[in-house]
């Protein structure tokens, strides 16, 4: 078994800089095995990485270990995440060209060649300690790169087993295991910082502190923004369908996903009927008194309570002191009226708590979504349940957000779906609104450089009249 890495002992003589340097060098050496590889061979490598986690016994084993390792989420959801995300990503990658000539644009005289970006430093979160490392490794190797994973300390055991499975899979098909490596324990800020500074590209999912450090590391970086998904239920929505989708999305992996709905804003004319539909779907509507109990349970000294976030509903109900009937609910609805620091329920909660707002009409609901974005989760995503596509188009035109999902369950749609056009990923770029360098789902294109071969084309030089005529006519020369 291609086991890696060995622990770094707590010893003053240990040189973290040199150790990371060695890992980077190992990656560069391993990349040589793909220098002359054709697309078929690269696709074999990507498929091997996918199969290392997709096979049913592995998907379950790593899901069980992740819940044990982190204390977050639930096994059944993580099995789905390990398999569905991996399968969808494999679909996208197998269809893409990343070796040699990837495009011929005769009209512009270009022939485009894909080249590796180098050794990728991949920072991964505790919420997905198996799925995210594989997802990033597949994309990196698709570009003929090597990857070094910096695991979250909370999910280290899961990520280590995942990485070793990937390394075995590479060796099984005759490729060097060091195409996929990870930082050795104990992973700390100093070591992660060294990886950011020494690798060729940093890709960060998770802590916004890590995202900011990556962008200031001096290395080209891709970081993704925080989530706080806000969804509207409009007047023309199919209420039961909307409620079922919101419930399925909200409860998936106990709301560990950044794409999990954090709030719903309901137009007043359908408010009561929508709440009834949400209750039929499994939601428990908290009273005003229980609302405060939820807040007190969720936040301790201003920070989210690790004893209730991403935990099963009965755990949250017990800690919050909710009645016995609440323990059988799937999620908890809490009404709110404001947004901002004085209204903690307006922020991301990583729990089975769904904030509920009432709006007078569509315009009021749109403004609520905008205010929620501006407070937390800028650029990430919003959703609308409506049979009026004009309303969805208006949200997309007016809100500073990368993704607007229409009549979809966010957790299953934002990061790629078999029924929408988003690329499968576990890392959602949120644009400059969130301080990100990309405004799309992380995908293989971010892991290749492109060489442009240019040949001459027939002259494409318009006349001055074509360029300035309308301007001259309106304003004069």
User: Which residues are identified as catalytic?
Assistant: 258
Tell me if 335 sits within 8 A of 345, measured CB to CB.
no
- β-bridge partners, 8: none
The residue whose two tokens read 């005289």 is 109
CA distance 391 to 332: 28
Torsion of CA 28, 31, 35, 39, to 10 degrees: -150
Preceding amide of 364 cis, omega within 30: no
401-406: strand order across its sheet: 283-285, 331-335, 353-359, 261-267, 229-233, 379-385, 401-406
Tell me if 29 sits within 8 A of 62, measured CB to CB.
no
Q: What number of helices (H) and strands (E) belong to the chain?
A: 17, 17
CA distance 229 to 378: 9
Render the burial of 240-277: b for 16+ CB within 10 Å, e for the rest.
Answer: eebbbbbbebbbbbbbbbbbbbbbbbbbeebbeebbeb
Q: Which tokens belong to 59?
A: 């998907």
Residues contacting residue 190 through CB under 8 Å, at least 6 positions apart: 16
Tell me if 8 sits within 8 A of 186, measured CB to CB.
yes
Residues contacting residue 68 through CB under 8 Å, at least 6 positions apart: none
């Amino acid at each position: 078994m291609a086991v890696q890495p060995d622990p770094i002992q707590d010893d003053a003589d240990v040189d973290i800089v040199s150790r990371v340097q060695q890992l980077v060098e190992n990656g560069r050496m391993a990349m040589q095995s793909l220098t002359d590889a054709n697309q078929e061979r690269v696709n074999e490598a990507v498929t091997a990485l996918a199969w290392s986690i997709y096979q049913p016994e592995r998907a379950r084993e790593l899901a069980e270990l992740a819940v044990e390792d982190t204390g977050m989420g639930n096994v059944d959801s993580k099995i789905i995440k390990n398999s569905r995300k991996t399968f969808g990503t494999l679909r996208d990658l197998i269809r893409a060209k990343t070796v040699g000539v990837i495009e011929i644009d005769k009209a512009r005289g270009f022939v485009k060649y894909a080249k590796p970006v180098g050794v990728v430093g991949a920072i991964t979160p505790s919420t997905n300690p198996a799925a995210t490392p594989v997802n990033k490794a597949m994309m990196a190797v698709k570009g003929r790169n090597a990857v070094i994973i910096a695991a979250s300390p909370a999910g280290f055991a899961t990520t280590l087993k995942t990485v070793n499975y990937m390394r075995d899979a590479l060796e099984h098909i005759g490729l060097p295991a060091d195409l996929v490596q990870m930082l050795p324990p104990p992973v700390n800020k100093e070591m992660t910082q060294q990886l950011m500074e020494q690798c060729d590209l940093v890709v960060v999912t998770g802590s916004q502190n890590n995202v900011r450090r990556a962008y200031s590391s001096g290395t080209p970086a891709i970081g993704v923004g925080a989530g706080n998904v806000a969804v509207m239920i409009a007047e023309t929505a199919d209420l039961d369908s909307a409620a079922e989708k919101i419930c399925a999305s909200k409860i998936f992996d106990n709301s560990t996903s950044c794409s999990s709905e954090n709030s719903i804003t309901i137009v007043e004319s359908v408010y009561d009927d929508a709440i009834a539909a949400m209750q039929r779907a499994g939601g428990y509507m908290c009273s005003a008194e229980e609302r405060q109990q939820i807040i007190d349970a969720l936040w301790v000294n201003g920070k989210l309570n690790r004893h209730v976030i991403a935990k099963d509903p009965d755990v949250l109900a017990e800690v919050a002191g909710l009645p016995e009937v609440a323990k059988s609910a799937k999620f908890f609805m809490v009404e709110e009226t404001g947004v901002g620091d004085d209204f903690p329920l307006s922020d991301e909660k990583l729990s089975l708590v769904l904030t509920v707002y009432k709006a007078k009409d569509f315009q009021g609901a749109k403004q609520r979504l905008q205010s929620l974005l501006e407070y937390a989760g800028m650029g990430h995503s919003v959703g609308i349940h409506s049979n009026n596509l004009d309303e969805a188009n208006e949200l997309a035109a007016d809100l500073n957000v990368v993704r607007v999902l229409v009549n979809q369950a966010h957790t299953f749609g934002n990061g790629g779906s078999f029924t929408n056009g988003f690329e499968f990923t576990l890392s959602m770029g949120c644009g400059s609104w969130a301080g990100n360098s990309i405004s799309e789902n992380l995908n293989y294109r971010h892991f290749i450089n492109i060489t442009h071969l240019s040949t001459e084309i027939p002259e494409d030089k318009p006349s001055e009249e074509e360029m300035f005529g309308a301007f001259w006519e309106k304003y004069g020369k």
